[in-house]
Structure 1
């Protein structure tokens, strides 16, 4: 399995400055999927291919789960752009999962969870807790038995055992919980409709998303201020903020930017260009079709007869993997995080053609705040 990254690269989360190919674009904005390479060639664990990726705004954590499991960090680490393998600071050998943020690295080990302050060179974790690993199903961070871990103190929050949590996604200011029954609960800030209850009010305690009741969900994900989930049948539901088209629904800002770009290109070719006044009138006519906030879950058709098996969200963009191994992205694209080799945003899901051209099948996707990471394997071609 090979991991590729594209989007925001100011801290070398994707590739090292000076080694970016022409196809990948500038050092800061990587617009074409680029295979992740080790920053440090002196450590044996860095030479392994990562099994999983976790990302924040300025950092990437690579989980090596084969043999002696460990975590490698790339990007902004202790005020320098280096890759760390736990030589000093967090001792990651033997960890089973990790979550990275701008300030903390959370690690789980058999029987305990640790939170390290990665902006300081400490020999002990900032916070730790013993956990009972005996449960009915395997939990992944930020869930732990009995509750969940956050990136800001207090680090641990308890959950009602009645919820029987399966997975949890934390947005900028809201949470999305999936139960083993397939029910979805949300709580936190609701000012952008990201809770899916039909209003813009906040919730202090987990509340079931009634619009999804009766439709079991298999996966959940959150962006900065939007939420998505996948049904057991492979359908994708979206709700929350759509300012940059991150819901895949018509966005006034995105459409206007696309129109301006098209007119600029036409003008450069010497073609007739509409006046800005006519353009604004055209946008006003279509205004009723634009959606800035979707407060209820909405079914999103990515492609005809397409089933979704994995989804992830950045701050203002979304990426989904289909059962056929295609990767679709949409939303804010100013740093190339959509992988379409442009810096344009999109309010319509578009397939990332790079993987198809390279005969690669995408199996997993992880969004950082302003970038995207995708795992792919070689496409098996059928003999005719």
Structure 2
């Protein structure tokens, strides 16, 4: 296996061929298998099998993946908008394409407790999800507690960000 990432109570692994496996707690769909139950042993996420996944990230109850062709997929809990697909569903048990990021060449994805980020090849950071302590870094005149679609972080645009990292309620960026 090429990479293994752990969330609060679940884990993901990317194999050298780009397939993704998940195991652990699955109550909110964070395993991506379509089943809302825990898994003791790793199971392949079939919804990603037609893509070569190059990176995954786990939040508390959600997961995201970046494919070689630059697509972002997310699954699991969505009560704070952490999937980046809107607010129509509170969780999704299978990978969902985050279409708001289509056409943006991406370098990285990251997941915090209930929020997510993507970083473009040009160093633009995009954030979405829970924002109750302003962990998304968005410059809004009326800050919202939940952001349901990716927004660029204006304060970081011209800094040449090359890496983003995550935690439960905040992010760390390297310039």
The normalised TM-score by structure 2 is 0.94
Structure 1 SS opposite 2:97? strand
Q: How does 1:1-384 map to 2 (within 5 A)?
A: 165-251=1-87, 290-341=88-139, 343-344=143-144, 345-356=146-157, 359-376=158-175
Query: Aligned partners of 1:224 and 1:184: how far apart in 2?
Result: 18
Deviations along 1:269-294, whole A, 9 cap, x unmatched?
Answer: xxxxxxxxxxxxxxxxxxxxx11111
The structure carrying a bigger helix percent of its residues is 1
Higher relative contact order (CA 8 A, sep 6+): 2
Contact 2:139 2:155 in 1 (8 A): no
Query: What CA RMSD, in Å, does the superposition of the two structures yield over aligned residues?
Result: 1.2
Q: What's the CA shift for 1:304? A: 4.5
Query: Aligned partners of 2:57 and 2:50: how far apart in 1?
Result: 19
Query: Aligned partners of 1:312 and 1:243: how far apart in 2?
Result: 18
- When structure 1 is superposed on structure 2, of 344-353 and 303-312 the one drifting more is 303-312
Q: What's the CA shift for 1:373? A: 0.7
Query: Aligned partners of 1:187 and 1:304: how far apart in 2?
Result: 28
Segments of 5+ residues of structure 1 without an aligned counterpart are 1-164, 252-289, 377-384
Structure 1 SS opposite 2:107? strand
Structure 2 SS opposite 1:302? helix
Query: Aligned partners of 1:239 and 1:303: how far apart in 2?
Result: 15
Deviations along 1:277-324, whole A, 9 cap, x unmatched?
Answer: xxxxxxxxxxxxx11111110111234411221111110000110122
Segments of 5+ residues of structure 2 without an aligned counterpart are none
Contact 2:18 2:52 in 1 (8 A): yes
- Mark the structure with the bigger radius of gyration: 1
Partner of residue 280, structure 1: none
